[in-house]
Amino acid sequence: MEQIKIKNIVVTGFGPFGDHKINASWEAVKEFSKISNDKLKKNYNVNLIIEKIPVVYEHVDSRVPELWKEYDPLFMIHVGVSGAAKCLTIENKAHGYGYSKKDVKECSPCEGSDCEVVLATEIDVKKICEEVNKKKFCEACVSDDAGRYLCEYTYFQSLRVQCKKTIFVHVPDFDVYPTSVTAQGLDSIVSSDSSSKDTTPCILGVFSVGKGNTRCREIELGLPTSLTEMNPQISIVLDIVIPGNGKGNGFSRATCSDLRECPKDIAPTPGFPSVIKITWHAVELPHSLIITLLTPCNAVSIHVLSRSSIICSRERMLS
């Protein structure tokens, strides 16, 4: 039986350096894992990976690309401590030059061909800050200066791999926020619509169709005993995802009342030309269903779970 592929989120913190014998970033990441790991697995089928990064340029050079390759994460959040920070500070960009301060091994990086490059995340960090501030666990702000030390260096190396799925968060030291508050702030960031934009699957059920982003309506699915009982809820999901689907024009509901009897590939109908192909497969029947709608401009994957949640995402743009 085919299993749902578990997706990963990677969150890193730093080891000790200078006066930070106990690094507030790593303590916050560990606490965040305690409060969020089970929730991410249960609600979103997402595995949380945390890792402590030593304050060593050479280690960052090798390990950051390895993390992307090893886990292929939905997104990666790097967390570092800043003695100057008075709130959670989400960095917008990172420079490829100016790293003269030595690491804990008394080394500094060689400046290569990327030395004049400045990379910015494509995640809407301003929107993330707004959402964190609404929850009032702690304050958050945006910064364009990540400090030109291991924090910014790590961010730059990660942005080189994937600008769409990377952010860096500077957290204040223990005298500003206790670890528990900082961890709640990190949880708010991971749960943000903006942090999950353009990922598969989107953590909060945000999907992209055409030019805009729309929140998937949360649907109480209850505990159906068969896929037939899930049909009404699935129809609602399809009505949300594809305009005009609520009037019976298109999708093979007209000819397949029970999804268990439907073929896996369904050809487009004359009344519904915007959908090229609809496919679905059930996972761990009857509790989970994945529907894929292939349109001329993108593919939308809908994951319907019997535990009252749906996950939608734009999987890929088509040429």
Catalytic residue list: 91, 151, 170
Residue 13 parent element (H or E):
strand 7-14
Type and span of the H or E element at 240: helix 227-241
What six digits make up the tokens of 49? 């990976």
**What is the phi/psi pair of residue 35, to 5°?**
-90, -20
| Residue 216: how many other CB atoms lie within 10 Å | 19
CB 221 within 8 A of CB 306: yes
5: number of CA atoms within 13 Å, CB side? 8
Query: In the numeric block, which tokens belong to residue 147?
Result: 């400090």
Cis peptide leading into residue 286 (ω within 30°): yes
By the 10 Å C-beta count (0-12 exposed, 13-18 middle, 19+ buried), 304 is classed as: buried
Three-state DSSP class for residue 102 = coil
* Backbone angles phi and psi of 227, in degrees to 5: -65, -25
- Residue for token pair 């749906």: 310
Taking the C-alpha atoms of residue 238 and residue 16, their distance in angstroms, rounded to an integer, is 50
Maximum Cα–Cα distance for the chain, whole Å?
A: 70
